[in-house]
Amino acid sequence: MSLLNKDENKTFGAVFRTPVENSKGIPHILEHSVLCGSKKYPIKEPFVELMKGSLNTFLNAFTYPDRTCYPVASTNLQVRLLSLLVCL
C-alpha cells in the first residue's frame, strides 16, 4: 500500500505470518534470532548498525500471536533502511 501525505517520514514494514499451536514463545525467539545476522550477513546486531548509518526515526520489531512485524521509518528520501529487508 502507498499513501501520500505531508509527513516527512518514509515508512515501510516487513510482516511475516508466524502462527503457532502453543504459547512457548517460538516466534519471539525467531524475531531475535533474525536480528543476530547469518552466515551470509554476519552482522551481530543489524538494527544497531542501521541506526548508526541512517536517518531513521523509528526502527523496531514486534511479535504478535499470529505475525511478526519489522516496521521502519526514515526522513532519508533514499531510505537506505531498505537493506534491512535483505537481512531478513
pTM of the complete model beyond 0.85: no
> What distance in Å separates the CA atoms of residue 24 and residue 2, rounded to the nearest whole number?
35
Residue 59, strand partner residues = 72
pLDDT of residue 67: 92
CA 72, 77, 78, 80 dihedral sign is: negative
If you search the block for the grid coordinates 511478526, which residue do you land on?
Answer: 68
- The domain segmentation of the chain, as residue ranges, is 10-87
Q: Which residues fall within 8 angstroms of residue 22, CB to CB, at 6 or more apart?
A: none
- Give the tens place of pLDDT for each residue, 20-74: 888 888 888 888 777 777 787 777 776 676 667 666 678 788 999 899 998 888 7
HSE-CB of 24 using CA atoms within 13 angstroms: 5
